Chain A
């Protein structure tokens, strides 16, 4: 993975020194909150419902063992012993004290991490496929390009005051695990007819109060043109994007108001100007970066034991079925560690769990860990002969839940348990659904089913893209939950449709259960997944179980 050079080290330390002085001036009363707020947000420090929250970037979701251990240390020393992994491949600490934050940032810098541009109207933490560099179906590892974008966008003088926040995601696989169609810019690696590698450039995707699936701006962008082309897009947006209304300020609205054709023309014009100013330094840098992302030295060892262990241990076999994915090396597997134990808070890991995952990465995983937007942790490179040991170690700390992609593998934002913007809680709903589904002992029979929960219209929990989406709202001073059905976060991304009126908290779990049972009843066979059934039969049968007969007009 990427290693900081002298410039990176100096830059991060300088930013901390600046921020330390700003915190001191705030505490001494020399800065008002109005003056201080944009400064703290530039360094990832939010004020939430019960405390400050520090959002730390995990660029393109990649961590090594040392960094994960340092997060565990920070959780123990400065917070309440745990961290929350988010849908944007960040980690959030929910209880830092203002005066401690500069010291926390120093601890992060010690392991080449920071919280810069995890907030504010800038280009945010660049996210990528969490299986990058390991996936069997990958064209190329997208992370060198993600790192190039990280360096280009960090403190980019032109893009520090954009109309609104700006999110970029990359995937190197045709199977899109990075939700590229729900980002301001999505980059999907493709090959053209000549066999050259490039990017399909998607813009204008986003969720929130106006959910829009991104559209293709350019079918094929040669990889060497990446930065000038991105710069052209962001500069066009920077000038054209609305600053009069924050709800209309994202690029998705700019595209909608001006039309894709007009935006494409402007971007191409700008690109032709900007391209000439890139004299090759970016390509030299990219080549240096690529050196940091060489594949690990895969080991040669027999793999027969893996099958024997599967046959000898039913629970291990179940876990292997759900939590392993195909690796590009036939003797290896990608391990997804579930942070969704039934009844636990989605995305949370204790300091002890972080230490164990770091140890496993070091011992069995070529020192690599990934964070997925689905709020799980990945060991991307595990030799099959080590899987049983990995599983047993995970079991000891409550990390061996066999539910990846199943109904209890729920995405949930922090909701009103923490977030100052939330209109309802998300976490207790996720906990209750997972607990209920575990009690029913049906989730392996139900098969792939993605529930995504947001505690407000801003949609950090990606509810629009859930097979079942849940949106928590405040209805006349009472928490109320709206259900959407049929959303997808893949390369075939689509928005779910609202099923009808919302449910109070006490009724949402039974409502989800009715949807699940309706699916089991309606599916052609166990081979037809929930989402396939949902698209085949439409919302009608689900509305009936949710609202009763004659629901059609009521729930329109």
Chain B
């Protein structure tokens, strides 16, 4: 079993709203990254990405993003991915509107 360097989630943008979503274990999509499915197995990550790509009627541009496991679940590592969980920094719009503090 080959392991990736980091734990991964599958993320994409929602077709209708355009916002960031994350793949869940039941092949659904969540707007809360802490509920996303994680894996560090290379084969599993590739399989989950393929599964996401097959859902082109629901999401756009799925890709694997690195995370670490925090107390509430997966947390993004790169600052771009952190912004995607929150929204812009100049207004309290986007996901931080729904979940203040992101």
Contact of A273 with B by CB under 8 A: no
Q: How far is the CA of A51 from the CA of B16 in the complex (A)?
A: 9
Main secondary structure of the interface of B (DSSP, over half): loop
Q: How far is the CA of A527 from the CA of B88 in the complex (A)?
A: 40
Q: How far is the CA of A376 from the CA of B9 in the complex (A)?
A: 41
Contact of A65 with B by CB under 8 A: no
Q: A418-B88, A425-B89, A431-B90 are in contact. Are A98 and B16 (CB under 8 A)?
A: yes
- Does A50 contact B87, Cβ atoms closer than 8 Å? yes
- Does B16 contact A427, Cβ atoms closer than 8 Å? no
- Does B90 contact A52, Cβ atoms closer than 8 Å? no
- Chain A residue numbers with a CB within 8 Å of B1 are none
Give the residue of A27, A98, A428, A477 whose beta carbon is less than 8 angstroms from that of B78.
A477
Contact of B38 with A by CB under 8 A: no
- Which B residues between 25 and 55 are near A, CB-CB below 8 angstroms? none
List the A residue with the shortest CB-CB distance to B96: A50
- Does A97 contact B16, Cβ atoms closer than 8 Å? yes
Give the residue of A51, A418, A478 whose beta carbon is less than 8 angstroms from that of B79.
A478
Contact of A356 with B by CB under 8 A: no
- Does B57 contact A50, Cβ atoms closer than 8 Å? no
| Size of the chain B interface, CB-CB below 8 angstroms | 25
- Chain B residue numbers with a CB within 8 Å of A479 are 79
Give the residue of B16, B60, B78, B89 whose beta carbon is less than 8 angstroms from that of A33.
B60
Give the residue of B17, B77, B88 whose beta carbon is less than 8 angstroms from that of A97.
B17
Q: How far is the CA of A52 from the CA of B20 in the complex (A)?
A: 11
Q: A416-B83, A417-B83 are in contact. Are A427 and B88 (CB under 8 A)?
A: yes
Contact of B73 with A by CB under 8 A: no
Contact of A80 with B by CB under 8 A: yes
Q: How far is the CA of A488 from the CA of B52 in the complex (A)?
A: 47
- Does A48 contact B90, Cβ atoms closer than 8 Å? no
Contact of A345 with B by CB under 8 A: yes
Q: How far is the CA of A327 from the CA of B78 in the complex (A)?
A: 50
- Does A50 contact B16, Cβ atoms closer than 8 Å? no
Q: How far is the CA of A418 from the CA of B89 in the complex (A)?
A: 9
Query: Which of A97, A417, A477 counts the most B-chain CB atoms under 10 A from its CB?
Result: A417
Q: A33-B60, A478-B79 are in contact. Are A51 and B19 (CB under 8 A)?
A: yes
Number of A-B residue pairs, CB cutoff 8 Å, is 72
List the A residue with the shortest CB-CB distance to B66: A477
Contact of B3 with A by CB under 8 A: no
- Does A27 contact B93, Cβ atoms closer than 8 Å? no
- Does B84 contact A49, Cβ atoms closer than 8 Å? yes
- Chain B residue numbers with a CB within 8 Å of A425 are 83, 89
Contact of A47 with B by CB under 8 A: yes
List the B residue with the shortest CB-CB distance to A100: B16
- Chain B residue numbers with a CB within 8 Å of A98 are 15-18
Give the residue of B18, B57, B90 whose beta carbon is less than 8 angstroms from that of A417.
B90
Please encode chain A, from 475 to 486, with 1 for each CB lying within 8 Å of some chain B CB and 0 for all others: 001110000000
Contact of A99 with B by CB under 8 A: yes
- Does A47 contact B13, Cβ atoms closer than 8 Å? yes
Q: How far is the CB of A85 from chain B (nearest CB, A)?
A: 15
- Chain A residue numbers with a CB within 8 Å of B87 are 50
Q: How far is the CB of B1 from chain A (nearest CB, A)?
A: 27
Contact of B80 with A by CB under 8 A: yes
- Does A51 contact B94, Cβ atoms closer than 8 Å? yes
- Does A477 contact B88, Cβ atoms closer than 8 Å? no
Q: How far is the CA of A479 from the CA of B82 in the complex (A)?
A: 13
| The 10 nearest A-B residue pairs measured at CB | A417-B88, A29-B57, A52-B18, A51-B18, A50-B94, A345-B90, A427-B90, A33-B60, A428-B89, A98-B16
* Given contact pairs A47-B60, A50-B84, A98-B16, a sample of 15 additional A-B residue pairs in the complex whose CB atoms are under 8 Å apart: A26-B15, A27-B15, A33-B56, A33-B61, A50-B94, A51-B19, A80-B93, A94-B93, A97-B18, A98-B17, A98-B18, A348-B90, A416-B80, A416-B83, A428-B90
Task: List 27 A-B residue pairs with CB atoms under 8 Å apart, sorted by A's residue number.
Answer: A26-B15, A27-B15, A27-B16, A33-B60, A47-B13, A47-B60, A47-B61, A49-B80, A49-B83, A49-B84, A50-B19, A51-B94, A52-B18, A80-B91, A80-B93, A95-B93, A97-B16, A97-B17, A98-B17, A98-B18, A99-B16, A345-B90, A345-B91, A416-B80, A418-B88, A431-B90, A477-B78
